[in-house]
Amino acid sequence: MGGDYFWIRFEDVSIKARISARAKYLQLLVSTEGILELVQPLSCKAEQAQQFLRAQTDWIKRQAHKLATLRQASIYTWPKIESGVFLPFLGQANRLSLEINSTIRAPVIHHCSTTNQIRLQVRNPHTHYDKILIKWLKNAALEQVTQGVADYGLILKRLPTRIQVKQYRRRWGSLSSNNDLSVHWRLIFAPASVLKYVVLHEMCHLFYRNHGQRFYQLLAKHMPEYRDEEAWLRNQGFLLNFPILPTQIHVKNQHSNGDWLSKTYGIEG
């Protein structure tokens, strides 16, 4: 079980600590939600953990500072929905215009990539704007992923059996043993190149199931700059996990034998 955690207050920094039966070492990391986490093996005593934290004081302070700075400058937030607010979409802040149109039955949404505007039309006010927008965003994510799969499919000459967008905690995508390709829908907020990278990454798993040398050779062949996208996810990916609705804030953290994302330890730059 890796689900239970407790908070430690250390030098003005909040650290989420959990005791893990699987962990072999004391470990500090920045989670995919942008939270400093301490993983403590079962056998580790509280004093040992404290000692470890003290030894890492500088690192902890540096990481906490970077996280706070990134958050402040981030376009990745969800505002209270009204006309004129900004929504993140494909790496850009898009101005939302909200219009009432009594002649339409279902909500209509248009995105204009040249003006970075999202136009939402509804029949009457007091609609669940968040729900409508999220549904549209998930759909847009699926469209982008489908397009990416089609593009790379032509080059790679292999296709997944199914394409899905999902909600993940600790990964951005996966390819199942029956070649179902899934991508985290929140990548629709990220720059388009990042989403493309995740699609290509999972499609390279159609050839190699592991993350060995040949896997990365194939990846690099079709996306020479893939390291930039990986770095983006490692350093800023957590920003995509901003809260949208109070009911969607996660309070529990699940342990996962995750994909490449579990390599995340700290943030750079």
Determine the interface stretch with Zn ion among 11-19, 110-118, 217-225, 255-263 (rule: CB under 5 A).
Answer: 255-263
* Residue 64 neighbours by CB under 8 Å, 6+ apart: 13, 36
Which one of residues 145, 259, 264, 267 is an interface residue with Zn ion (CB under 5 A)? 259
Cα 26-31-33 angle, rounded to 5 deg: 155
Which one of residues 71, 231, 260, 266 is an interface residue with Zn ion (CB under 5 A)? 260
CB of 68 to Zn ion, least distance (A): 30
Nearer residue to Zn ion within complex by CB, 33 or 259: 259
CA distance linking residue 217 with residue 215, whole number of Å? 5
Beta bridge partners of 96: 118
**Using rule CB under 5 A, residue 208 touches Zn ion:** no
Nearer residue to Zn ion within complex by CB, 137 or 200: 200
Total residues interacting with Zn ion, rule: CB under 5 A: 2
Q: What are phi and psi of 53, to 5 degrees?
A: -60, -40
**Using rule CB under 5 A, residue 78 touches Zn ion:** no
CB of 172 to Zn ion, least distance (A): 9
Q: What are phi and psi of 115, to 5 degrees?
A: -100, 0
Among 34, 40, 25, CA closest to 63: 34
CA distances from 55 to 14, 28, 90, 153, 219 (A): 16, 11, 40, 49, 38
B/e letters for 249-259, b = 16+ CB within 10 Å, e = fewer, are eeeebebeebb
Nearer residue to Zn ion within complex by CB, 129 or 260: 260
**Using rule CB under 5 A, residue 86 touches Zn ion:** no
Nearer residue to Zn ion within complex by CB, 216 or 260: 260
CA distance linking residue 179 with residue 38, whole number of Å? 34
Nearer residue to Zn ion within complex by CB, 96 or 204: 204
CB of 175 to Zn ion, least distance (A): 7
CB of 198 to Zn ion, least distance (A): 9
**Using rule CB under 5 A, residue 52 touches Zn ion:** no
Residues found near Zn ion in the complex (CB under 5 A): 259-260
